[in-house]
Chains A and B, each alone.
Chain A
Amino acid sequence: MRQYALRRIALAVPTLFLVSVIVFLLMRLMPGDVVTRMVEGQGYAPTLAALRHELGLDRSMPVQYADWIGGIVLRGDFGRSYWTRQSILEEFVHRFPVTLELALLTILISVVLGIAAGIISAARQDTAADYVSRVLAILALSVPYFGLAVVVVVVPSIYFKWTPVWTYVAFTADPLANLKIMLVPALVFGVTRAGPIMRIMRSSLLEVLRQDYIRTAWSKGLGERTIVLRHALKNAMIPVISLVGLQIPLYIGGSVIIEAIFRLPGVGLFFFEALGKLDYPVVQSVNLIIATMVVALNLLVDLSYAFLDPRIRYR
């Protein structure tokens, strides 16, 4: 196990190296020039040259790459934004809790709603409750979350002169105020993501409910609650968990727009704005940090299998 973990960590190094090279090159392959973009066509030769020199863009690409990656590896320095000259790591650390909290709340809401609706729908197949749940799930699937977000922000402002858009307060500063701010965006995002979870939960549970061991349970005279929740649900959850796992990138990607609409100062927005401004160091470093997190999470997940299922052994 320990050997396996060490081998995986060693393998992560070339993976991250490749990520860093690809993201570095991709940024440079993007059309446009950051210096011209910064001055929006207003600068003239001496200013442009000075700015290019100041940002180190007059050096060759390998030198720029070595400088960036060397800073990270040797000094833990992720560089500074071209536009604000502020430390990228500081900004990331400041913003990451917002995105993490949004993602966790969204996952929680979508999982709770999706599983509950899926269970009711499957246990009460072809009843009014089933139809209502299915219609709601299709609605959640077909309404884009950004569309719903705009409706939630705009409609009450027109009819009730109220809007669920607040000034962000950190969880550590005031947990209640923070949850009040985060709840609506997480609900909007979570509800739309609950649709697919409900569909999978329903079909998976229906399949399990038709299996022999469930029939045996019924014949033993067990109650419905025990059969569905204790015997069927556990086995029906496997595809649901896989789906939630697959949706995690969507939670991160979607946070960009949710953050913009609900004024949440998260990483998604930071990254998105940097892309538009061709802020190379920000895009590169944020990408690399997130890639590192994904690699680390994957490793943790793989290792956790051994704890969950004792039959799994790593070599």
Chain B
Amino acid sequence: MGRRAGITVPVLLALGLAMTGPAPAQEPKRGGVFRVAVQEAPGLDPHLTISFLSHSYVSLSYSLLVRFPNGPEQKHPADFSIVPDLAEKWTISKDGKVYTFSLRKGVRFHNKPPVNGREVTADDVKYSLERFMAKSAFAMRFEPVSSIDAVDRYTVRITLKEPYAPFLNHLANPVFCAILPREAEEKFKDFNHPDAVIGTGPFVLKSYEKGVRAVFERNPNYFMKGLPYLDGVTIEITPDASARLAMLRAGKAEIPHIWGWLGVEEARALSKTNPEMQVTPQQVIGVGFIYMRTDQPPFNDIRVRRAISLALDRKSWNDVLLFGEGCIDSGPVPCALKEWKLETSKLDPAKAKYLLGYDPAEAKRLLAEAGYGKGLTTPLFHWPGYVAPWRSYYELAAENLGKIGVTAELKPEEYGKYSSTTMVGKYEKMAMGPSTPFTEVDDFLYGRFYPELATNQSHVADAELAKMLVAQRREMDLKKRKQIVDDIQRYLADKAYYIYVPQWPQYVSHPAYVKGFKPHDGYGLGMRLVFTWLDK
């Protein structure tokens, strides 16, 4: 089945438009304040929390060493090529182990005490990346780093223990590597205090009233000349989703979510009541799946896992819940990661049927062969609070599995418990939920399948696979790495370690006067708003 089999023509057209951008270039207007209605972030220190909200808030104020393209620079929403940010240029040694970055000269931190607009130097980069390695929960992604040196005022050298292909992508991810000034930590102990948010990014945090709003103003000294167009950004803290949508409708916010996303039902309702709104479907990065204890019976038996996969009627899920606009071919590499995805149509059909096929009769036969002819019972742990369509997904999964004799008992968990037990692999038999949408294919492969990792929720321990997983992250030649990633996808096709469910699009929604706000699949908000302007 084609990977876009589940996407309708209008969606494809819209995605196409998003990729090519608006045809007649309008001259951007300067001015105006962009208002974002969103929940409160749990903190502001980019290393002490991994919340996408925290990272998106402070992405308005911080810069990175390198970044992903945004606005007119990006070719499509999942464009993860690397462009300069604070580093003007960089070189990678032939053995792939030494990265040398040359910093832009004359870039200054925001003019706030105790930093007072001093210039960014190589020491700041060294300090920030070392702090990331010491404090961030994502630090594992820098495990291959052996040293970070400030060679001179404007040159940083990062030495790795081994070649590590995902490295630049991680450096470009706003979730990880914001460049911070040491003085602010010395004064405020960490970067959670609003006065400690001092970066080199496009917007300066002027005030932050907890539970109410955060006010950012344009950084007059931003190193990208003439940008941003906006005078400022205000985050209107709004915990309730219906209130956020009401604010969009009433003209009190430009976007009802940190990235402007609405779910399929909300987007349809909005288009109906407010046809003047611009609603753009975006196939976002993400994977949802059933995960199982593949190290224990009954799911250590491949026949049982394949039976589970064959029991799911993914096309009906997509038609009924996602109005046919979702992507069925959703794993192990997400639909939106186009550069890395090996479409199921290119796989051996005999294997691919265990990835996407629907065949309850065959599923029953496999179960009987595995000794479960009379069926089996399993809990299905999950967190019911994930946005639509998840609640329906859990019920549909249980219903589909019931048809082949597998009784899946729905076990809803409170988020604190789910995220600290089930989600990190501490559960019995079976669970279900979405994956964090990462920007590097390594996270969906190495992170999900390498033995002993907490993110290896299915407890996969496959030596042959593990070798390939390590090989792809050490391969610096893009073409060769792509081949290994393809091989991994071919290898995984019939293993049914995870059972993938259709991926739904998000609908980027804002008034028509918002221009240049291009959907991008990376994290952060700052760079999206650098190129945004208001036509009013």
A residues with a Cβ closer than 8 A to B are: 30-44, 46-48, 50-51, 83-86, 91, 94-95, 150, 153-154, 156-158, 161-163, 165, 167-168, 259-266, 269-270, 273, 276-278
Contact = CB atoms under 8 A, between A and B. Distances in A.
Given A85-B43, A260-B240, A277-B416, A162 B137 contact: no
B49 A158 contact: no
B161 to A, nearest CB: 16
Contact of A154 (B239, B245, B453): B245
A35 B273 CA distance: 43
Nearest to A48: B137
B415 to A, nearest CB: 6
In the A-B complex, list the 6 residue pairs whose CB atoms are closest, starting with the nearest.
A265-B211, A39-B137, A36-B420, A43-B137, A157-B246, A31-B417
B249 A269 contact: no
Interface in B122-167: 134-140
Interface in B21-64: 40, 42-45, 48-50
Contact of A263 (B43, B239, B424): B239
Contacts of B86: none
Contacts of A48: 137
B43 A84 contact: yes
19 contacts: A33-B420, A36-B424, A37-B415, A37-B416, A42-B137, A42-B138, A42-B140, A43-B139, A43-B140, A44-B140, A47-B137, A51-B137, A84-B43, A85-B43, A85-B48, A86-B192, A165-B246, A259-B239, A263-B212
Contacts, number: 162
A276 B189 CA distance: 25
Nearest to B269: A158
A104 to B, nearest CB: 19
B247 A163 contact: yes
Contacts of A39: 50, 137
A94 B239 contact: no
B83 interface: no
B104 interface: no
B195 to A, nearest CB: 12
A44 B436 CA distance: 16
B210 A50 contact: no
B421 interface: yes
A217 B238 CA distance: 56
A61 to B, nearest CB: 18
A81 to B, nearest CB: 8
A80 to B, nearest CB: 10
Contact of A50 (B45, B135, B211): B135
B250 A163 contact: yes
B419 A41 contact: yes
A42 B138 CA distance: 6
B487 interface: no
Contacts of B240: 150, 153, 260-261, 263
Quick one: which of A33, A48, A51, A270 has the most chain B CB within 10 A? Answer: A33
Contacts of A31: 413-414, 416-417, 421
Interface of B: 40, 42-45, 48-50, 134-140, 189-190, 192-193, 209-213, 236-240, 242-243, 245-247, 249-252, 273, 413-421, 423-424, 436, 453-455
A30 to B, nearest CB: 7
B211 A168 contact: yes
B435 to A, nearest CB: 10
B238 A32 contact: no
A39 to B, nearest CB: 3
Given A154-B245, A154-B246, A273-B40, A38 B137 contact: yes
Contacts of B213: 167
B416 A32 contact: yes
Given A44-B453, A84-B44, 6 more contacts: A32-B417, A42-B436, A44-B139, A85-B45, A153-B246, A273-B239
Contacts of A94: 210
A161 B250 contact: yes
A171 B451 CA distance: 57
B332 to A, nearest CB: 18
A282 B192 CA distance: 16
Nearest to A40: B419
Nearest to B141: A42
Contact of A95 (B42, B211, B249): B211
Quick one: which of A38, A40, A153, A276 has the most chain B CB within 10 A? Answer: A40
A264 B246 CA distance: 16
A168 B239 contact: no
A84 B42 contact: yes
A277 B43 CA distance: 12
B249 A276 contact: no
Given A44-B454, A47-B139, A263 B420 contact: no
Contact of B421 (A32, A34, A47, A276): A32
B210 A91 contact: yes
B421 A40 contact: no
Contacts of B192: 84-86
Given A32-B421, A261-B242, A263-B237, A276 B49 contact: no
Contacts of B50: 38-40, 42
Quick one: which of A42, A47, A85, A262 has the most chain B CB within 10 A? Answer: A42
Contacts of B138: 42
Nearest to B438: A42
Nearest to B423: A41
Contacts of A273: 40, 239
A265 to B, nearest CB: 3
Contacts of A165: 238, 243, 246-247, 250, 252
A196 to B, nearest CB: 26
A41 B44 CA distance: 20
A156 B247 CA distance: 11
Quick one: which of A46, A163, A278 has the most chain B CB within 10 A? Answer: A163
Contacts of B246: 153-154, 157, 163, 165
A85 B252 CA distance: 31
A88 to B, nearest CB: 12
